[in-house]
Amino acid sequence: MWIRAWAFERVCSVIQGKSSNYDTDVFTPIFTAIQQVTKARAYTGSLEDPVDIAYRVLADHIRCLTFALTDGAVPSNEGRGYVLRRILRRAVRHGRQTLGVTQPFFYQLVEGVVGAMGDRVPELRKNPQQVMDLIKDEEVSFGRTLDRGIELFEQAARDAQTSRDREGAVPAATSRDREGALCLAAADAFKLYDTFGFPLDLTQVMAEERGMKVDVAGFEKLMEQQREQSRAGAAGDDGIDLAAACVELASKHKLPVTEFIGYDPSQLNCTLTTMVNQYPLPGGYVALITGTTPFYAEKGGQVGDTGSISIGSAALQVLHTYTVGETHVHVGKATGELPVEGTQSVSFKVDATRRSRIMAHHTATHVLNHKLRAVLGDHVMQKGSLVDESKTRFDFAHNAALSDEELAKVEAMVNADVLADLQVNAEVAAQEEALKIHGLRAVFGEKYPPRVRVVSIGPDLRSLLAEPAKKDWYESSVEFAAERMCAVRNRSVCLRS
């Protein structure tokens, strides 16, 4: 269990008789590492000096990243991963602009954190090289665009200054805010973000250093325009984003919770008496919600089921099944008059052949994940996937591109499991008990309920739960249900990097 950082630092400053947290032995070893790596002058404790500010930023940020990456987090373009990426890029910019370091350096500071805190937090000594590799990859990637981004920022700042100095001339691209402060143009801030990888908060920090602000409202408008373009690209052939339409539907209506019974193969073709609600969607599509359904809804990268739902003489050809909260929404085209609401006798027919193909590709993602870790190392983390009836696409984090030899080895190992015709087992168990299984994998940051569905390929789950600490389980794929790979289901599996 980590000690709250602020409390730990303040206690240290009191015990050691220091007026600042940064003067304690929590930070001094990291400052020493910064000086050795960057060749900057020694830290003096000044609150205003840019070099001392850079020292504090680098020390704080490398400590945060070392702990987070040791815990299994990975920098990415979204969510918590993007927070880490922003932290890293702010630190790298300080090193480049303030301390004048032109080569990757930030990753080397991990050793300073481990040296300062490794005795008190032994987890930090587990695999510092892996943490260093992740940071170095991020640093090298950002370094390719950092200098050009700084040049763009400097030019935009000069243009804004020039505009202010002209009598009565403030162009639309660079305007003052309501308080009269000079603003960096939204278009420039967006270009820094979209082209050069500068997070908005980094641009804001750079602007503040010049006594400027950023047109955040204009930046957000440009971001929304880009999202709209992405949504339009994700829409179907008729230009309608049905998933977004279902989300909008939920914002207007209180949708009921759906009971899913589709794990039982006998329920894929069944007739039930259940509650029904029907809603119109754009383009002549219909959303049908039932109290119970065997249709699996799209989630976790896996597409939803298709098939048909019949109520009396009317029917819905189910083209998509989406999940909105705890509701399964069947979307498709109707023939006849479907009831708007009420309790009805409903006949469900899931496309079982398509479901079977999707299941095979779902299993392939688990096998592929297991073999990638076997070949590349336990640091490999799943970052996303797409599972449908024709393929599985598997995104994962690794610190280098796969070599042809590694790819061939992974493919051979996956094919060996395919040809072995291993049994796939699933069992619902208490999360606390399931987590004891040696070698079990769960998605980092995912929240799991008290009872979870555990899937194993090979060993019987009752044996796993009876002897969770057995070392043999590490050789098996056992899992809770931004490299990319594709696999195609067949008698053998074809991988493409």
Mean pLDDT of 432-442: 72
DSSP, collapsed to helix, strand or coil, labels residue 442 as coil
Instruction: Tell which residue, 497, 256, 233, 477, has the closest CA to residue 373.
Output: 477
Say which range, 82-96, 242-256, 282-296, 431-445, has the weakest mean pLDDT. Answer: 431-445
SS3 content of the chain, % helix, strand, coil (to 5): 45, 20, 30
CB of 150 within 8 A of CB of 97?
yes
> Tokens in use for 97?
């602009």
Q: Model's pTM, two decimal places?
A: 0.59
Strand order in the sheet with 451-457: 424-430, 451-457, 477-480
Helix axes 50-70, 79-97, angle to 10 degrees: 150
Instruction: Identify the helix (H) or strand (E) that includes residue 142.
Output: helix 128-165
Confidence of residue 176 (pLDDT cuts 50, 70, 90): low
As a whole number of angstroms, the distance between CA 401 and CA 110 comes to 23
Q: Is the pLDDT of residue 233 over 70?
A: no
DSSP, collapsed to helix, strand or coil, labels residue 244 as helix
Domains of the chain, CATH where assigned: 5-208 (no CATH), 244-350 (2.40.30.130), 356-496 (3.30.980.10)
Query: Residue length, the chain?
Result: 497
Residue 481: what pLDDT?
A: 42
Say which range, 9-13, 21-25, 167-171, 453-457, has the weakest mean pLDDT. Answer: 167-171
Q: Between the ranges 117-131, 275-289, 418-432, where is the mean pLDDT highest?
A: 275-289
Strands (E), 195-293: 213-214, 259-260, 269-280, 286-290, 292-293
Residue 478: what pLDDT?
A: 42
Q: Which residue has the higher pLDDT, 81 or 260?
A: 260
DSSP labels, 51-64: HHHHHHHHHHHHHH
- Cβ burial of 310 (10 Å; 0-12, 13-18, 19+) is middle
What is the rounded (10 degree) CA torsion for 382, 388, 391, 393?
A: -20
In sequence order, the 6+-apart residues with CB closer than 8 A to the CB of 240 are: 281, 282, 283, 285
Write down the residue that tokens 């094919």 correspond to.
Answer: 415
Residue 178: what pLDDT?
A: 53
pLDDT in tens, 47-58: 899 999 999 999
pLDDT in tens, 377-436: 877 877 788 999 998 888 887 767 788 899 999 999 999 988 888 888 877 888 877 777
Residue 169: what pLDDT?
A: 46
- Share the mean pLDDT of the chain: 83
As a whole number of angstroms, the distance between CA 255 and CA 294 comes to 18
CB of 426 within 8 A of CB of 405?
no
Residue 279: what pLDDT?
A: 94
Residue 230: what pLDDT?
A: 67
Mean pLDDT of 82-100: 92
pLDDT in tens, 307-363: 999 999 999 999 999 999 999 999 999 999 999 999 999 999 999 999 999 999 998
